[in-house]
Amino acid sequence: MGKMTTKDTILYEAHGNLYLNITNRCTAECVFCIKRYSDGVYGYNLRLSKEPSLSEIIKQLSEHELSKYKEVVFTGFGEPLVRLDDVLEITKWLTTRGIRVRLDTIGHAKLLYPERDVASELADSGMKVVSISLNAQDANTYNQLCDPKYIKAYDKMLEFARDVSKAGIDLRFTVVNLPVVDIEKCKKIAKEYCADFKVRGYGGT
Ligand code: SF4
């Protein structure tokens, strides 16, 4: 890995995808979060000195040749859904240009926006895949690992997962391979929810 860039990184490339880092805010404080021990990934500095505006993000996107990427992915050093309205606008902008969009999320949408049907809004914007950090086989382990800002976060995350599938978006669950995580049980939960399942490396959301 080369030297870390010093500039705020909003967009970065890896694995044939283009990743979006639109916020550093989050509704959890995971023990394994890469924010705890690094300033970024793949040599990109993901700490934002300030959040980029919607127009700044669109401007940077329009400077890229987007068709060469497999997907554009909301991820990075924070929870993208804290900026739900901007996520929706950016997804619409990308979808109208024929780009496949994925969202990586901790899944607290129903707690962040109790009055809204976030899954349907995402589906309407054109979101193709929602990858939720399941992270644990039960609420206790989840709370211990993720220290969510909300009570009942685990149950509400699972409810949101159901909403995502019902809205016609492809669902994926991810976990980090840690000793307290029962990978087999998590895989079973994914099966129950008809979700893809992926064990991910340490990283952001
Ligand atoms: S791993 Fe993701 S959900 Fe957890 S604290 Fe970091 S950014 Fe937030």
Give mean pLDDT, residues 114-136.
98
What's the pLDDT score for residue 202?
61
- Residue whose CB lies within 8 A of the most ligand 1 atoms, among 39, 131, 205, for a mutation test: 205
3-state secondary structure of 88: helix
**How confident is residue 37, by pLDDT bands cut at 50, 70 and 90?**
confident
User: Who contacts 205 (Cβ-Cβ below 8 Å, separation ≥6)?
Assistant: 26, 75, 76, 78, 79, 80, 104, 105, 106, 133
Token representation of residue 66? 């987007």
Ligand 1 centroid to 138 CA: how many Å? Answer: 18
Give mean pLDDT, residues 27-35.
94
Q: Is the CB of 148 under 6 A from ligand 1?
A: no
Q: Is the CB of 136 under 6 A from ligand 1?
A: no
pLDDT tops 60 at residue 113: yes
3-state secondary structure of 65: coil
Q: Whose CA is nearest to atom 6 of ligand 1?
A: 33
- What tens digit of pLDDT does each residue of 77-100 get? 999 999 999 999 999 999 999 999
- What tens digit of pLDDT does each residue of 133-168 get? 999 999 999 999 999 999 999 999 999 999 999 999
Model pTM? 0.95
Q: Is the CB of 29 under 6 A from ligand 1?
A: yes
pLDDT tops 70 at residue 203: no
- Residue whose CB lies within 8 A of the most ligand 1 atoms, among 106, 149, 200, for a mutation test: 106
**How confident is residue 6, by pLDDT bands cut at 50, 70 and 90?**
low
Ligand 1 centroid to 111 CA: how many Å? Answer: 16
Give mean pLDDT, residues 118-126.
98
How far apart, in whole angstroms, are the C-alpha atoms of residue 117 and residue 15? 32
**How confident is residue 103, by pLDDT bands cut at 50, 70 and 90?**
very high
- Residue whose CB lies within 8 A of the most ligand 1 atoms, among 25, 30, 75, 160, for a mutation test: 30
Annotate 44-59 with b (16+ C-beta within 10 A) or e (fewer).
bbbbbeebbebeebbe
When the pLDDT of each residue in the chain is averaged and rounded to a whole number, the result is: 94
pLDDT tops 90 at residue 205: no
Domains of the chain: 11-200 (3.20.20.70)
Phi-psi category of residue 126: left, alpha or beta, with phi > 0 → left and psi -120 to 50 → alpha? left
Q: Is the CB of 205 under 6 A from ligand 1?
A: yes
Give mean pLDDT, residues 24-28.
97
Ligand 1 atom nearest to 78, measured from its CA: 7
3-state secondary structure of 171: strand
**How confident is residue 66, by pLDDT bands cut at 50, 70 and 90?**
very high
- What tens digit of pLDDT does each residue of 187-200 get? 999 999 999 999 98
- Residue whose CB lies within 8 A of the most ligand 1 atoms, among 23, 31, 33, 111, for a mutation test: 33
